[in-house]
A and B are shown apart, each in its own frame.
Chain A
């Protein structure tokens, strides 16, 4: 097999991961997509080698427990298929909680989504007894810190890192029914990614969040 016979098309699919699917980790989500592509009968390209894998890439892992409203993945196909047809074939074979929102063709040689990711927006809904002003005050305190040393699990080991430079924006506003919406933009690049649960923890609010959603991914090409 020569290089010329590689994939013929690359599609960028926008999707949402909702409801109970938030409990599914990244690798499990990848397997769920792989099986959905197969059920849809899409001509997904496979990698070469001893253990061929279907070629698709999810832009960014969602932390377990967080839903995603505007996620992205790229998939490579062996036969040209229109973006509309891909959506139409996927819709009936997706499990509850997974939905496709958009599909567009991208250049086969375009850089990977992961390499161009810069930041992500999250909204945490807080069931907090505290007034919004008190939370805003805490945010100001937190943002005033030059360094926020935190610990997190990384490949089974506890790792110390500085959370502060990963927080680009952080605001709180009153929402419906006494709830507070905490909005944050966190760095999410090959150099490092902030996690919304860690921000909540740093604010002393980890138990207050009833839902966390990733609402937008920012890429270098978004400008």
Chain B
């Protein structure tokens, strides 16, 4: 089939056809025959979201730098395009060379969140591949997955051949090396997978077997072949590799239509609900000069009018003020705006805001207090003071910004209706500050999500809050947070429940994911596409009790389905921190004091190889 001819015919009939054409500035089209290993990098959500994902951009850059390797992209076709492709018999194709995905050696999925699981199945199916790993063989590409969600890979083990745990920069090259060798030798799928199992940070789930207790909890997970190891420790890079300086420039508007540079990986704050804060440790900072040089290259190479300084908490970067001042001085007159997507109230200075103002065009400021009472902030370990937030709000509004966005969560452990009422008080106080400053133009946009307890966090034992309670709390917020200058967003409980089930699921969920997909579930993170009935039926037919996964308080001595995945943070640390949480004890910034989470023990060698100031963790002391 000629992909081009079919595209000519169907693209005029679908929404945003430029999602499917490729050809973006800085996209890389290499000679297929001159390359020995062919990667398809797949992001199973829309083009607009996938193009905004820095993780895949980094791997695209690294892989394409290898002389004999090519990497091409593919995103999830929107529902109209899927329909058109299926009707025309057009298989899933890559954006760069419009080649069928089935012809690649390896398909690497980026999975930052759980709502993408049915889309992963759908992409495999659209590519003409069996969705079940056990039904694929030497004729098919190898299917691997990485990203934040795969720190609990168990729900996907039926579909994915191998998982890459942790930082991907080195492991993709290890995978490439092993696949190249296997291709040369023409080895069987089985023996290729055994070789992959020998790579650090690579989990090949078919080589492990799980036994369950009568009550349904995990009794044991054990390797079935000698190559399969335990525990499976994530990979880290001791130093952040050089940033991508030739970023892809989309033609159409994307979620983050701008350049981005990662200024720091990991976070030292230790918010107890935060998955990223636990699994991306340790903190590694990029040197100031490297950032400044890279920004220059990025702007020249891409022409972007905005650059985002990315980090889980960008205002915690050690040299943030110098960095912003320097960027404002260099690029202010050249109309480059600088954005800091994640700011901590306690580390935003007046000077920082003043410098940001000079870089122009920023429409709003976002802060995430997550809870509104001092007591509950102690429980979640995010101890900010209301006075600080109000003082920052004052500074923001008085500098001409009209909108402040505030993120909160409900359903935290020990939370009461008083804690929810405090959200209302705080939001109204922020609006009052804004009105004093700029009158009725002051706007507060409030997002209230429901806590989904995540694996590998101190809240992994906590049940998802009860549906009636959440609905009552949401109704209370809707009633009290309306009026001029206020906007409230929240999540539907059923979507939250699905995320909670998938987040802490085990291998038995695979059957339900498969069934839900067969029943039409895809784009589960999209409110207008989410098919709650398909999921209900799938759970019913496969005998999955959602309460068991989402709503059950789990005993501290239970073996979790993801306990064999080692993030470097020890389970005993998570238990200690959870217990501290119930006493309302906070653990402040771990740059100030090490709380011995386990990272330094797990990654001693990596720590020893870098400078004292390169990591948030203290330097090693002689033993």
Contact = CB atoms under 8 A, between A and B. Distances in A.
**A and B: real partners?**
yes
A11 B592 CA distance: 58
Contacts of A32: 251
- Count chain A CB atoms within 10 A of each CB in B8, B18, B299, B301 and give the residue with the most: B18
B305 A38 contact: yes
Contacts of A35: 25, 249, 302-305
Contacts of A31: 251, 253
A24 B335 contact: no
Interface in B319-338: 335
A36 interface: yes
A52 B335 contact: yes
Contacts of A93: 25, 303
A36 B304 CA distance: 9
A34 B305 contact: yes
A96 B303 CA distance: 16
Given A32-B251, A39-B302, A23 B21 contact: yes
Interface string A29-46: 001101111110100001
Contacts of A41: 300
Contacts of A36: 303
Interface string B169-212: 00000000000000000000000000000000000000000000
A25 B361 CA distance: 24
A96 B305 contact: no
Nearest to A64: B17
Contacts of B483: none
A148 interface: no
Contacts of B8: 210
A29 B345 CA distance: 38
A51 B361 contact: yes
Contacts of B21: 20, 23
Given A35-B305, A95-B25, A96-B23, A24 B251 contact: yes
A96 B18 CA distance: 13
B252 A28 contact: yes
B545 to A, nearest CB: 45
A65 B23 contact: no
Contacts of B251: 21, 24, 28, 31-32, 95
A93 B253 CA distance: 20
Nearest to A40: B303
Interface in B247-304: 249, 251-253, 299-304
B24 interface: yes
Interface residues of B, number: 24
Interface string A1-35: 00000000000000000011101110010011011
Contacts of A23: 11, 17-18, 21
Contacts of A38: 299, 303-305
B226 interface: no
A218 B106 CA distance: 52
A24 B303 contact: no
B12 interface: yes
A97 B23 contact: yes
Contacts of B18: 20, 23-24, 28
Interface string A111-140: 000000000000000000000000000000
A21 B216 CA distance: 55
Contacts of B25: 35, 39, 93, 95
Given A46-B335, A95-B24, A34 B303 contact: yes
B361 to A, nearest CB: 6
A24 B251 CA distance: 7
Task: Find the residue from B22, B252, B360, B361 having the highest chain A CB count within 10 A.
Answer: B252
A83 B539 CA distance: 66
A36 B300 CA distance: 10
Contacts of B305: 34-35, 38
Contacts of B301: 39
Best-buried of A25, A41, A46 by chain B (most CB within 10 Å): A25
A43 B21 CA distance: 31
Interface string B341-365: 0000000000000000000110000
Nearest to B336: A38
Interface in A92-107: 93, 95-97
A34 B17 CA distance: 21
Contacts of A54: 335
Nearest to B363: A51
Considering the complex of A and B, which 9 residue pairs feature the smallest CB-CB distances, nearest first? A35-B303, A38-B303, A39-B303, A20-B21, A23-B17, A23-B18, A95-B25, A24-B251, A65-B12
30 contacts: A19-B23, A20-B18, A20-B23, A21-B251, A23-B17, A23-B18, A24-B251, A24-B252, A28-B253, A31-B251, A32-B251, A34-B305, A35-B302, A35-B303, A35-B304, A36-B303, A37-B303, A38-B305, A39-B25, A39-B302, A51-B361, A52-B360, A64-B17, A65-B17, A93-B25, A93-B303, A95-B23, A95-B24, A95-B251, A210-B8
Given A28-B18, A31-B253, A35-B305, 6 more contacts: A20-B18, A24-B252, A28-B252, A28-B253, A46-B335, A97-B23
